[in-house]
Amino acid sequence: MLNAMQIITGNERKKLNQVTRLNILRFMLDGAPSGFLILVLWELFKPRDEISLFKLMAFIGGMLAALLLTMVVSRTAYSRIHLHAYELTAETRLRLGEHLRRLSMGFYKTHDPGDVTALLLQDMTKVESVFSHIYGDVVAALVTPFVTILFLLFIDWRMALAVIVTAPLAVPVLMLSQKVGAYFAKKQMAARNDSISRMLEYAQGIQDIKAFNLTGAKFQRLDNSLKALREAGIRFEAAIGSLVVTYQMMLELSFTTILLLGTFLLAQGTLDVPTFLIFLVAGYSLYRPLQALAVFLGELRFMSLAAERILKVLDVKPLPEPDIPQAPESFDIEFKNVTFRYGDQDVLQNVSFKIPEKSMTALVGPSGSGKTTITNLIARFWDVNEGDVLVGGQNVQAYTAENLLASMSAIFQDVYLFHDTIYNNIKVGNQNASWEEVIAAAQAAQCHEFVTKLPDGYETVVGEGGSTLSGGEKQRISIARAILKDAPIILLDEATASLDPENEAQIQAAIGQLVQSKTLIVIAHRLSTIANANQILVLEKGSIVERGTHDDLLAADGLYTNLWKQQSRARGWKFSHGRKKEGASQIKTSVEREK
């Protein structure tokens, strides 16, 4: 509960205190009927002729007044606690949102967006309910018995102690149940996570599962993990349930002491019948809230997991920003002995190169060789472990993320479109752009034609993530954004140009428009597209193994030459059973054309 409180209250402890006081008052008032009951009983136990009707009326009237007061306080407390819960949750959502905004792009590359969204939605709702539901319940479960026991101690301390005589035995059991619960919950959580991955796998792989006739229980791994989940679930409940029930039972068995001690003291003459009766009535009503405490604590533990997840993200530090914000003034790029590790894996080792302004550099190499990492480090998605990344002669750490990113556009394979009009989606590139500028960018990016064919043209609203457009269309919108932004550095994954082979030519034309007189860094897959690059860096396992122009590299006869030959061969390959002889000549022609 404490961590949930910590998250949700932040600097607003005071508001919480106010609500807490109101709640304590409300639950003290809950004890009022019992108080008046005791007074009434006291009166009734007197001999018949001494009973004061007036007093009885007064007590009953007092009880009615207490009931009415309880209603008012309960109404206010119940409203307040919810209003505060909503208000504080809203504030906390904003705080977390603000924090997420400051985190580096690296965070978004390494966290599943679904999980991050869940923090802001479901997990926050759980924290909210700690506050709006469980918090009040726990306060009630503690306050009401506390007030009653104080009252009883005042009447007869010996009997009052008897009421809770087994507590020293019961409370350790309660604590043990929390420990045992945490242990089994961890096991259950592991089984649950495993089964969720299996279920996700089943959904994702259904095409293959069907193709290989592996459906239903035949899919052993799913079946096994679901069975394990069933066992873990039953074990968890059986284990924690037994302890919780033992705690509740032990607590209530205190009452036998009241019976025995009461009769003993009565025989001794140190206790009178009315007092004994009051203990029988008031003492017994004490157990119910204390028993409920065990259930609330369980719920609290469950909800706290959500709070822990939120805290973990709140603890992620944003990349440090410089004190004096600067913006790059020139746009050459340099890597000086850069080493970058991810976990304990070296992704880049001692990489150095220079990219002059307004030149084109291509990154080539097998997948996993570090091409994308280089572009990510230029944009400072992460900080390097060793060495320096310079833009415009200054370390990227000297710029604010905002200024650095303002100087570059990145065109990668995954394009995200907002649930908004196409016009606004393009305008993301530059909020100050005029209508004409947006259209001009769309035209340059070869979007105009398909956009004007849509039912509402530029005002057509696209689905979240751009689900209503084809891959090639989304790609061209992202290029239009970049054209509109007109940043001096362009980071580009060449595969985007061949993502949609039917529209290949159009996307290529759009990219051609974008890259004019920019500092261009291309992650290349098809080597033929980068033959004109000023500089080609060939990467293997995180190191630069060759560098130079296309002609230099072909002359060197190294890895690049090898890749080039393979690709030329691949381009001549055909789907056929090889019965047609003409195929061979065709390969030749296409290879020739390459040269």
Partner 1 sequence: MKRQIENMNETDPKMQKTTLFSLAKQHRGKLSLSAGLSVLSAALSLIPFYVIYLIALELLAPPIEQSRVWQLVWVFTGAVIGRFLLYYIALVVSHISAFSLLYDLRISLAQRLGELPLGFFSQRTTGSIKKVLSEDVEQIELFIAHHVPDLAAAIVTPIMTIGLFFVLDWRMALAALVPIPIAFVFISRMTQGLDKVTAEYHNSLENMNGTIVEYVRGMPVIKVFNQTVDSFTRFQSSVYGYRELATQITKKMAPPYGYFLALVGSGLFFVLTPGVWLYLRGELSLPLLLLFLILGSGYLLPLPQVIGFGSTISNINEGVGRIDKVLQHPPIEAPAQPRVPERYDVEFRDVGFAYGEKQVLRHINLQVAEGTVTALVGPSGAGKTTMARLIPRFWDIHEGEILIGGINVKEMMPETLMDKVAFVFQDIFMFTDTVYENIRMGLPDVTEADVIAAAQAAQAHEFVEKLPQGYQTVIGEGGQTHISGGEKQRISIARAILKNAPIIILDEATAFADPENEAKIQEAFSQLMHDKTVIVIAHRLSSITDADQIVVINEGQIVERGQHEQLLAKPALYKRLWEAHTAAQDWSFQMEDRRERQKHEG
Query: What is the footprint of partner 1 within residues 461-520 (CB under 8 A)?
Result: 464-465, 470, 472, 481, 485, 494-495, 497-505, 508, 511-512, 515-517, 520
Among 528, 552, 555, 557, binds partner 1 (CB under 8 A): 528
Token pair 């530059």 is found at 430
Q: Which residues contact 113 (CB under 8 A, 6 or more apart)?
A: none
Q: Nearest distance from residue 504's CB to partner 1, in Å?
A: 4
CA distances from 388 to 333, 334, 397, 484 (A): 11, 8, 9, 30
Among the listed ranges 165-173, 389-397, 450-458, 581-589, the one in contact with partner 1 (CB under 8 A) is 581-589
Q: Nearest distance from residue 292's CB to partner 1, in Å?
A: 10
Looking only at the bridges linking them, the beta strands covering 489-493 and 519-523 are parallel
Ranges within 354-373 binding partner 1 (CB under 8 A): 358-360, 362, 365-368
Residue 195 CA to residue 233 CA, distance in Å, equals 12
User: Half-sphere exposure of 140 toward its Cβ, with a 13 Å CA cutoff?
Assistant: 19
Q: Nearest distance from residue 161's CB to partner 1, in Å?
A: 18
Q: Nearest distance from residue 157's CB to partner 1, in Å?
A: 21
Ranges within 401-460 binding partner 1 (CB under 8 A): 401-402, 405-406, 408-410, 413, 416, 418-419, 428-431
Ranges within 3-62 binding partner 1 (CB under 8 A): 30, 33-34, 36-37, 40-41, 44-45, 51, 53, 56, 60
Q: Which is nearer to partner 1, 160 or 222 (CB)?
A: 222
Ranges within 194-233 binding partner 1 (CB under 8 A): 195-197, 199-223, 226-227, 229-230, 233
Q: Nearest distance from residue 354's CB to partner 1, in Å?
A: 17
Q: Which two tokens stand for residue 543?
A: 């190191």
| 8 Å CB contact between 395 and 389 | yes
The DSSP output letter for 320 is P
Q: Which is nearer to partner 1, 388 or 486 (CB)?
A: 486
Q: Nearest distance from residue 319's CB to partner 1, in Å?
A: 12
Ranges within 296-315 binding partner 1 (CB under 8 A): none
Ranges within 137-196 binding partner 1 (CB under 8 A): 195-196
Strand order in the sheet with 386-391: 345-355, 333-342, 386-391, 394-395
| 8 Å CB contact between 229 and 192 | yes
Token pair 């009040």 is found at 136
Looking only at the bridges linking them, the beta strands covering 489-493 and 543-548 are unpaired
> Which contiguous run of DSSP H or E holds residue 491?
strand 489-493
Q: Which is nearer to partner 1, 14 or 48 (CB)?
A: 48
Residue 563 CA to residue 571 CA, distance in Å, equals 12
Nearest to 489 by CA among 462, 522, 529: 522
Residue 77 CA to residue 5 CA, distance in Å, equals 18
Among the listed ranges 150-158, 255-263, 320-328, 333-341, the one in contact with partner 1 (CB under 8 A) is 255-263
Residue 152 CA to residue 159 CA, distance in Å, equals 8
Q: Nearest distance from residue 239's CB to partner 1, in Å?
A: 10
Among 131, 184, 255, 335, binds partner 1 (CB under 8 A): 255
Ranges within 70-129 binding partner 1 (CB under 8 A): 70-71, 73-79, 82-83, 86-87, 89-90, 93-94, 97-98, 100-101, 105, 108, 113-114, 116-117, 120-121, 125, 129
User: Half-sphere exposure of 274 toward its Cβ, with a 13 Å CA cutoff?
Assistant: 12
Residue 144 CA to residue 488 CA, distance in Å, equals 69
Q: Nearest distance from residue 308's CB to partner 1, in Å?
A: 19
Among 288, 312, 354, 588, binds partner 1 (CB under 8 A): 288
